Amino acid sequence: MIKTILKPLSICFVGGALLISCGGENAANNEVENEPENQSDVSLETVIEDDEAVEEAVDQILESESVPNADWQINNYANHLIGENIASSAETADSDNGNYWYYQTLDVKGGFASVTGAVEGWKEFVVWRMADGDDLVGEMTVGGGPACDYQFTFYKGRGAEIEEYSENELFPLDALNRHKTEMIAKIIAKYPVDYPEDSQLIYNFPQKGTGMRVDINIGADEIQVPIAQLAWDKSLFYVDEFLHSPDPLLGE
């Protein structure tokens, strides 16, 4: 919409510049006989450069900024949290022009997005609709390297007004951590690993449904074992089932 408006304005501006230049030609020639012949060309070139600069600035406006907060979908939240417009695919990404990110998966109906780009690792985003009318947005950042580093951040609100929301308010962390401790003992008894003290909970963001599986990632070998299934009541997550097998995931 903004670009559609700017283009006619810039045409009018250029046209106006030409009319002024042409309309004042005789008077200008009478007063200054040695005026450079290409003065109008220089002015037009300047106007075009200014117009291109305006269009370039408009291109940098985030897609989410033109959408009312009440209408935001997962792509708007991903766009807002990354702070850059996200290309639809690797083929359409253009890092030379500042488009570093692109979608690996975008499921607007399912409220799920996976994003990567000119970085090591990737990001995932998911949105849950809450009973109080707010949105809960999850952001997972996975760093590359010898060992993957998982970081989870959750936000609550609507549109650009979302604010970071504590995991303590969302998850039964005491129960999860108790079960995690029990599972670590089982896992390392069957699968000895280096650095068993290095462990963390992994929230598997859902593309379908609202529930979420929780895994434990443990040791230098990054053995990943499912330990719980969570359900969602539109306000918080609760334990639907604890899982007890120490066997790691295969093929994931």
User: What is the DSSP secondary structure assignment for residue 170, as one 8-state letter?
Assistant: T
- Predicted pLDDT of residue 146: 59
Q: Specify the higher pLDDT residue, 222 or 236.
A: 236
Mean pLDDT (whole number) for 219-227: 91
Mean pLDDT to the nearest integer, 44-69: 61
Per-residue pLDDT, averaged over 151-161, amounts to 97
Which has more pLDDT, 5 or 183? 183
State residue 189's pLDDT score: 95
Note the pLDDT of residue 213. 98
Say whether pLDDT at 44 is over 80.
no
Query: Rg of the chain's alpha carbons, rounded to an integer?
Result: 28
- Per-residue pLDDT band for 99 (boundaries 50, 70, 90) equals confident
User: DSSP letters of 102-134?
Assistant: EEEEEETTTTEEEEEESSSEEEEEEEEE-TTS-
Supply the pTM of this predicted model. Answer: 0.74
Q: Which of 57-71, 93-107, 123-137, 183-197 has the lowest mean pLDDT?
A: 57-71
Which residues, listed in sequence order, are joined to residue 241 by a DSSP beta bridge? 229
**pLDDT(105) > 90:** yes
Cα four-point dihedral sign 92, 95, 97, 100: positive
129 has a pLDDT exceeding 70:
yes
- In percent, the amount of the chain with pLDDT more than 90 equals 59
Question: What number of helices (H) and strands (E) belong to the chain?
Answer: 5, 10
Burial of 239 (0-12, 13-18, 19+ CB in 10 A): middle
**Closest Cα partner for 122 from 113, 130, 133?**
113
Q: What distance in Å separates the CA atoms of residue 134 and residue 138, rounded to the nearest whole number?
A: 13
**Residue 25 or residue 116, greater confidence:** 116
- The 10s digit of each residue's pLDDT in 172-212 is 999 999 999 999 999 999 999 898 889 999 999 999 999 99
